[in-house]
Amino acid sequence: MTGPQGVGIGWRPEIAGFVAGLPGLRFVEVVAESVAPAGPLPPGLAALREAGVTVVPHGVRLSLGGAEPVDPARVTHLARVAELVEAPLVSEHIAFVRAGGLEAGHLLPLPRTREAVAAVVANVRRAQAELPVPLALEPIAALFDWPDDELDEADFLTEILDATGAGLLLDVANVYANARNRGADPRLLLDRLPVERISYLHVAGGAERDGLYHDTHTDPVPSEVLALVGALCAGRRPPPLLLERDGHYPPAATLRAELDALAAVSGHPVVT
């Protein structure tokens, strides 16, 4: 199976009909935990695979940043889903979602310490030992920083990628959200990230509430995020990029316009 190409979209049952009607679509992403590892695939997703569309499983529950070793059963699930959809790679987050047997229900940020680097690296290596395909890691959007950070975001991420050989799933909307909430310039972070390690990009919408910008995946992609995509893609071969939408689905014409805007700003062919 070939790797992701062009502009993709997150496959969700609620928009399966819309996704199926995109004539130029080359790849989608599916939440790995939503797929039964023994099959069968949801009909819409199976039809895309039969049409040659690449499917990338995206994990949300491995808790790679947890202090405890990653749950082998969850890694096995991700591995079996990758085999089921013949994925060229899988992706997960640099975050933790459980501790001491308690489930947070959210992706939580890590303190950017070398101890945390070591914990992530150990769990990523455990996962890589079983996964049949490469793993790409996604830094998350965070509404706060821990007070005992030893590394900035770029150094923290680079140390993890260097130690594991993993790819980078760069969420441009997360870069924007984190910089905006810290009062920083997102382009300064982009300039320091190992962009040569990018496997593909995420793009999503967000909204401001109570003075903080939230990466909601339910709002339109703001113009500032589109501008960051353009800056990242300028002067180089654009990485594959994927639109995430996880609720409050707009009319089909609005979704098509967002996909067209991503194609225009990145230099990829339109998929609509």
Reported as a single tens digit per residue, the pLDDT across 34-83 is 999 999 999 999 999 999 999 999 999 999 999 999 999 999 999 999 99
Q: What percent of the chain has pLDDT over 70?
A: 96
Question: For 190-203, what is the mean pLDDT?
Answer: 94
Is residue 53 a part of any domain in this protein? Answer: yes
Question: For 186-211, what is the mean pLDDT?
Answer: 93
**Measured in whole angstroms, how far is the alpha carbon of residue 258 from the centre of its chain?**
18
Q: Which range (9-18, 143-152, 211-220, 243-252) has the least confidence?
A: 143-152
pTM: 0.95
pLDDT higher than 60, residue 2: yes
pLDDT higher than 90, residue 138: yes
d(CA 114, CA 220) in angstroms, rounded, equals: 36
d(CA 96, CA 60) in angstroms, rounded, equals: 10
Is residue 271 a part of any domain in this protein? Answer: no
Give me the chain's average pLDDT, please: 94
- Among residues 252, 253, 228, the alpha carbon closest in space to that of 241 is found at 228
d(CA 140, CA 125) in angstroms, rounded, equals: 20
CATH number at residue 23: 3.20.20.150
d(CA 5, CA 200) in angstroms, rounded, equals: 9
Instruction: Return the structure tokens found at 202.
Output: 């995420």
Is residue 107 a part of any domain in this protein? Answer: yes
For the chain, how many structural domains are there in total? 1
Which three-class secondary structure state does DSSP give residue 105?
strand
Question: For 244-249, what is the mean pLDDT?
Answer: 94
d(CA 237, CA 259) in angstroms, rounded, equals: 18
Predicted confidence at residue 269, as pLDDT, reads 97
Is residue 1 a part of any domain in this protein? Answer: no
**Measured in whole angstroms, how far is the alpha carbon of residue 45 from the centre of its chain?**
19
d(CA 33, CA 31) in angstroms, rounded, equals: 6
Per the CB < 8 A criterion, the answer to whether 59 and 92 are in contact is yes
Question: For 85-112, what is the mean pLDDT?
Answer: 83
Instruction: Return the structure tokens found at 208.
Output: 């401001």
Is residue 2 a part of any domain in this protein? Answer: no
Is residue 187 a part of any domain in this protein? Answer: yes
Based on its alpha-carbon atoms, the radius of gyration of the chain, rounded to whole angstroms, reads 18
Decide the pairing of beta strands 167-171 and 135-139. parallel
Beta strands in the chain (DSSP E): 7-10, 27-31, 54-58, 90-94, 96-99, 102-108, 135-139, 167-171, 198-203, 207-209, 212-214, 241-243
Is residue 41 a part of any domain in this protein? Answer: yes
Predicted confidence at residue 146, as pLDDT, reads 77
Q: What is the residue range of 199's domain?
A: 7-266
**Phi/psi of residue 29, each to 5°?**
-125, 140
Predicted confidence at residue 145, as pLDDT, reads 79
